[in-house]
Amino acid sequence: MSHLTQRDIESLRPELERIVAEKVSDNHSDVVSTLEKCLYSGYDRKRATEKLSHWIDSKKASRIYDKLEDLIERRKTVSKLNKRGNDDNDEKVIKKIRTGYEENEVSVPKPTVAPPIVVPPPSWQTESKSLTSQQINMMMANAQREIEERKKALSTLKSKDPANQEDVERAKKIAMLQAQIKAKLSGIGMSAIIPQVQEKPKPLILDEQGRTVDNSGRAISIPTLAPTLKANIRAKKKETFSKAATANDRQQEDQSQTFFDDRITAKPAIRSKRSLRFHEPGKFQQMAEKLRMKTQLEKLQNEISQIARKTGISSATKLALIAPKQDSHAEDVPQMEWWDSVILANDLKTMHGDNIAIRELSITNLIEHPTQMKPPNEPIKPVYLPVFLTKAEQKKLRRQNRREAWKEEQEKIRLGLIPPPEPKLRIANLMRALGNEAVQDPTKIESHVREQMAKRQKAHEDANNARKLTAEQKREKKIRKVKEDVSCGVSVSVYRIRELNTFHSKKYKVEQNAKQLLMTGVTVLFRDCCVVVVEGGPKQQKKYRRLMLNRIKWDEDMVNNADGNEVPNSCVLVWEGTSARRHFGEMKFKLFPMEKMAREFFQRHQVEQYWDLAYSGAVLEAL
């Protein structure tokens, strides 16, 4: 697509909006602006389709591009047709050059043809039929006189012989050429031989029809200068195209604006001088009174709505708000209460006697209960999302805060609000900081420095002690770090150990770690099958799993199996998953001599499947 100027794009904007409106329903303005950018930049089909695909489908974009190309081709054709008149003159000039007719050469003139005499229609045809006979005769005489004058003018033109004049001009040119040749051969300048003759501009002769003619009365065509460079040709085409487009736009505007009157001149905008305007006394007091009355009315309406909510009649609030204000008197009794107006079909004024129409459909067996809501004890505070900073950002923020505090302290010292700090003395910089004073009394200065160092050390330790947590705070911090939210589900793990009752150190680790991690569960002790069930969060389960399977070395202890043979002790993770709630309390040990009693214990806590999984695995392992 060729590059278009901003003026051409503005002339094409109505057509662009029409094309886009046919294909696109939303993002209309964005698509039109993208098309204008593509036309201004001269993008090809692929690039323009990519730009349009941000707002619409690629198929729609290609269709819009096709319509846009057709529109530009039609505009180019119209501009070529508008320039057809100038091209005819150019063709005539080209034909003259091909036939050898030039300005400097003398050719035999063609026989002149007198221009046709155009007799204007008599004025009596255009005027009304009510003319007198005398007026008609005068008009005929004037017309005959004009015809005679034109015949005389044509005869004088024919009497002049154009051939003789052309021969004289040819003889002058031949003599001038001969003089130039002689001057070149003799080496004498032309200025010494031929006098400079200033040529006067030739007179422009126009005939009665306004055409340009020569001395013989023959119509001639004046050639127009046409640009030869491609850039100038392209610029001229754009100029003609824009002129045609603006002419069409003006014509359309003139056609659409039928109300425009040329006789009325638009007055220029004149800025009037502003004068001082004072408020009337008491204006702002009235505004304040209105605001107070409005606030009281809103407060009263809120109280009415709260009372209505408490009583359970929510519709009473709206009726109270829209009820007309009337003067209340004890003697005035309304004909109908507002709560009866809901079930009555018509107003009481239109009813006579006992003919009262009731809408039975509005009476139902439903009772309206107010929604029970718990009043907030504390005002609702806005919830802000926490901002997590990186290590570099934390260091930068700390550096900036310390810099601001230092600047504030320096400003207070300059203003004299606080005294300047003492120099930070040490044994190493004693001589450099004090100089002559340290030489005069070194013992006194050393004691002063050591006293200052002890003071700084004490202030540092006091600050550390102030920041330390108490025992209760430490315990709460540990609990807060270990405790997890299990409201959405509890993670459960079931472990099976071959023997645990005789190994007290390992038994202590199993119990204490569960308590330290704030986990609940139970440990069931049975021969050849000890089951450990723990409940908690995912992180707690991860730490406890590492304890049971990695940290405790079960295989270093030897135990007897059902056959009486010694085998290494072992711990196996039987099952892990999630449960809706906790089934056990604090970690405890339960010893059962029979398998039935152990299963009944789990059944009482509604998790007998834990025992079934663990005991079945132990039986299969013993086989």
Is the model's pLDDT at 600 over the cut of 50? yes
What DSSP string describes 313-335? -THHHHHHHHSPP----SS---S
CA dist., res. 319 & res. 321, Å (int):
5
User: Where in 168-271 does DSSP place strands (E)?
Assistant: 205-206, 212-213
**Residue 220's pLDDT is what?**
75
**Residue 27's pLDDT is what?**
62
Is the model's pLDDT at 206 over the cut of 50? yes
Place of tokens 């600050």: 463
Model confidence at 160, pLDDT cuts 50, 70, 90, reads low
More confident residue, 405 or 263: 405
Q: Which amino acid is at 499?
A: E
CB 499 within 8 A of CB 506: no
Q: Which helix (H) or strand (E) element contains residue 480?
A: helix 471-482
Is the model's pLDDT at 116 over the cut of 80? no
Reduce the DSSP state of residue 560 to 3 states and report it.
strand
Is the model's pLDDT at 341 over the cut of 70? yes
Nearest to 589 by CA among 526, 512, 525, 543: 525
Distances (CA, A) of 483 to 509, 515, 517, 543: 19, 11, 7, 13
**Residue 122's pLDDT is what?**
44
**Residue 186's pLDDT is what?**
64
Is the model's pLDDT at 127 over the cut of 60? no
Is the model's pLDDT at 479 over the cut of 60? yes
Backbone φ and ψ for 586, nearest 5 degrees, come out as -65, 150
Nearest to 611 by CA among 519, 537, 514, 530: 530
CB 362 within 8 A of CB 345: no
Half-sphere exposure of 517 (CA within 13 A, CB side): 24
Is the model's pLDDT at 64 over the cut of 90? no
CA dist., res. 542 & res. 536, Å (int):
10
**Residue 510's pLDDT is what?**
95
**Residue 468's pLDDT is what?**
94
Nearest to 419 by CA among 428, 429, 407, 410: 410
Among 159-163, 247-251, 331-335, 340-344, where is mean pLDDT lowest? 159-163
What average pLDDT does the chain have?
77
Is the model's pLDDT at 86 over the cut of 50? no
Q: Look at strands 571-579 and 558-560 and give their pairing.
A: unpaired
**Residue 194's pLDDT is what?**
46
Model confidence at 20, pLDDT cuts 50, 70, 90, reads confident
CA dist., res. 510 & res. 548, Å (int):
8
Convert the pLDDT of each residue in 361-397 to its tens digit: 777 777 766 677 776 666 677 778 888 999 999 999 9
Among 11-20, 62-71, 113-122, where is mean pLDDT lowest? 113-122
**Residue 524's pLDDT is what?**
96
Convert the pLDDT of each residue in 144-159 to its tens digit: 788 888 777 766 655 5
Q: Enumerate the domain spans of the chain.
A: 6-86, 390-421, 489-622
Q: Running DSSP on this structure, what letter comes out for residue 549?
A: I
Reduce the DSSP state of residue 571 to 3 states and report it.
strand
Nearest to 531 by CA among 558, 564, 569, 493: 493
Neighbours of 586 (CB within 10 A): 12
CA dist., res. 615 & res. 594, Å (int):
12
The CATH number assigned to the domain with range 489-622 reads: 3.30.70.100
If phi > 0 it is left, if psi is from -120 to 50 it is alpha, else beta; for residue 493 that is beta
Is the model's pLDDT at 170 over the cut of 90? no
Is the model's pLDDT at 104 over the cut of 50? no
**Residue 423's pLDDT is what?**
85
- Work out the percent of the chain whose per-residue pLDDT is above 70: 74
**Residue 268's pLDDT is what?**
64
Reduce the DSSP state of residue 318 to 3 states and report it.
helix
Q: Look at strands 588-591 and 520-525 and give their pairing.
A: parallel
Distances (CA, A) of 126 to 86, 120, 122, 145: 36, 11, 8, 20
Model confidence at 113, pLDDT cuts 50, 70, 90, reads very low
Model confidence at 324, pLDDT cuts 50, 70, 90, reads very low
Computed from CA positions of residues 354, 360, 365, 366, in that sequence, does the dihedral angle turn out positive or negative? negative
**Residue 187's pLDDT is what?**
57
Rounded to an integer, the average pLDDT of 307-325 is: 53
Nearest to 143 by CA among 165, 118, 164: 118
**Residue 131's pLDDT is what?**
57
CA dist., res. 88 & res. 221, Å (int):
10
Rounded to an integer, the average pLDDT of 89-103 is: 42
Rounded to an integer, the average pLDDT of 60-74 is: 78
Is the model's pLDDT at 437 over the cut of 70? yes
For residue 584, how far is the Cα from the chain centroid? 56
**Residue 107's pLDDT is what?**
39
Half-sphere exposure of 173 (CA within 13 A, CB side): 10
Rounded to an integer, the average pLDDT of 243-249 is: 80
Nearest to 544 by CA among 568, 527, 520: 520
Q: Running DSSP on this structure, what letter comes out for residue 358?
A: B
Model confidence at 188, pLDDT cuts 50, 70, 90, reads very low
CA dist., res. 455 & res. 422, Å (int):
12
With a CB cutoff of 8 Å and minimum separation 6, the contacts of 321 are: 301, 304
Model confidence at 162, pLDDT cuts 50, 70, 90, reads low
More confident residue, 453 or 258: 453
Place of tokens 């039975």: 360
Is the model's pLDDT at 593 over the cut of 80? yes
Convert the pLDDT of each residue in 413-434 to its tens digit: 999 999 998 888 888 888 888 8
More confident residue, 383 or 476: 476
Place of tokens 């001149």: 265
Helical ranges in 390-429 per DSSP H: 391-415
Q: Dig out the tokens for 91 from the structure.
A: 């063709």
Query: Distance between the two ends of the chain, CA-based, in angstroms?
Result: 87
Is the model's pLDDT at 494 over the cut of 60? yes
pTM (2 decimals)?
0.35
CB 618 within 8 A of CB 496: yes
**Residue 594's pLDDT is what?**
92
Q: Which helix (H) or strand (E) element contains residue 576?
A: strand 571-579
**Residue 272's pLDDT is what?**
74
Nearest to 8 by CA among 234, 245, 230: 245
Is the model's pLDDT at 453 over the cut of 90? yes
Rounded to an integer, the average pLDDT of 204-230 is: 73
Half-sphere exposure of 309 (CA within 13 A, CB side): 9
Is the model's pLDDT at 198 over the cut of 70? no
Computed from CA positions of residues 89, 90, 93, 99, in that sequence, does the dihedral angle turn out positive or negative? negative
Distances (CA, A) of 166 to 146, 155, 215, 466: 32, 20, 11, 125
**Residue 254's pLDDT is what?**
61
Convert the pLDDT of each residue in 43-56 to its tens digit: 777 777 777 777 77
Is the model's pLDDT at 285 over the cut of 70? yes
Half-sphere exposure of 436 (CA within 13 A, CB side): 0
CB 228 within 8 A of CB 222: no
**Residue 309's pLDDT is what?**
65
CA dist., res. 217 & res. 109, Å (int):
12
**Residue 84's pLDDT is what?**
53
What kind of fold does domain 6-86 have according to CATH? PWI domain (1.20.1390)
CA dist., res. 361 & res. 355, Å (int):
18
